[in-house]
Amino acid sequence: MSGYFQNDSMPVYYTITDHGIEIRLNRPGKKNAMDRSMSEHFPRLLEEVAILPQSVVFLCGTGGVFSAGGDLGFLLDRLDKGFEENRTTMMLYYTAFLGIRELPQITVACLEDSAIGAALCMALACDFRLVASDCRLALNFVRLGISPGMGAVPLASSVLGPSMARKLLLSGNRVSVADFVAAGGAQWIGNKTMEEYKAEFYAQFLGIGPLALAKLKQELCRVGPGTEELYKCLELEAQSQAHCFRDPWFRKKIESIQKGKE
């Protein structure tokens, strides 16, 4: 094993359990918010995970929280950077986390407590999602004063349908777990613990040929629903967010959040 295996000193690490591989977002003091450091480590972790023989990868957060989304400090850093630097930074940020789509294993996001903004987008990039009853779900970009990123439009449209996606993205409001599940966004774990449901879910995929699975995942990544739109969208998203970072409305909003007024 290499650098990210059971290494909980890292902002992301992985373990191997009886029901497959678990990738853990690991900033519990910040509700596993996705900062620049996490984005830099994530592709390296994926390289290690991709060569493992297990057929299922669960994407989880430490401390019983999936992720609160983009890190506030990361967003504050964008305020004083130029357009081109921000555009480039955001492209690298998106592609780092969306690299989970290219894993040869089945990917399952385990949504507990919070899956907000960029974190929910990363979950939508996985093959499946499991959701706990109390999880807060939102694509709240516009409420921060920025246009959606992380492939939000094509990913949400592909998984949830265009009508639900448009509603969530244009309003920035939370969606109930019941509505999210009804739209096909996730499987509800019911009264089971996440650990119990993961074990049951994993059992459905025993006995799968690893090469056949890897080839199918390649096809889904290249030509699956929403794929063409996703790759076209990322550059436009990066440009749009770079413009929004220069907007006084965004500055006022993000500084207000920093001061604890919202």
- pLDDT attached to residue 232: 84
Contact (Cβ atoms closer than 8 angstroms) between residue 74 and residue 35: yes
pTM of the model: 0.95
Q: What is the bridge-based pairing of β-strands 128-131 and 12-17?
A: unpaired
User: Would you state the structure tokens that stand for residue 133, as one six-digit string?
Assistant: 């009853």
Output the pLDDT for position 222. Answer: 82
- On whether the CB atoms of residues 249 and 139 are closer than 8 A, the answer is no
CATH numbers and ranges of domains, the chain: 12-193+210-258 (3.90.226.10)
User: What six digits make up the tokens of 100?
Assistant: 């989970």
> Sheet of 20-25: strands edge to edge?
12-17, 20-25, 56-61, 106-111, 128-131, 187-188
Tens digits of pLDDT across the chain (262 residues): 568 999 999 999 999 999 999 999 999 999 999 999 999 999 999 999 999 999 999 999 999 999 999 999 999 999 999 999 999 999 999 999 999 999 999 999 999 999 999 999 999 999 999 999 999 999 999 999 999 999 999 999 999 999 999 999 999 999 999 999 999 999 998 889 999 999 999 999 999 999 999 999 999 888 766 677 788 899 999 999 999 999 999 999 999 988 875 5
For residue 138, the model assigns a pLDDT of 99
- Chain centre to alpha carbon of residue 228: 19
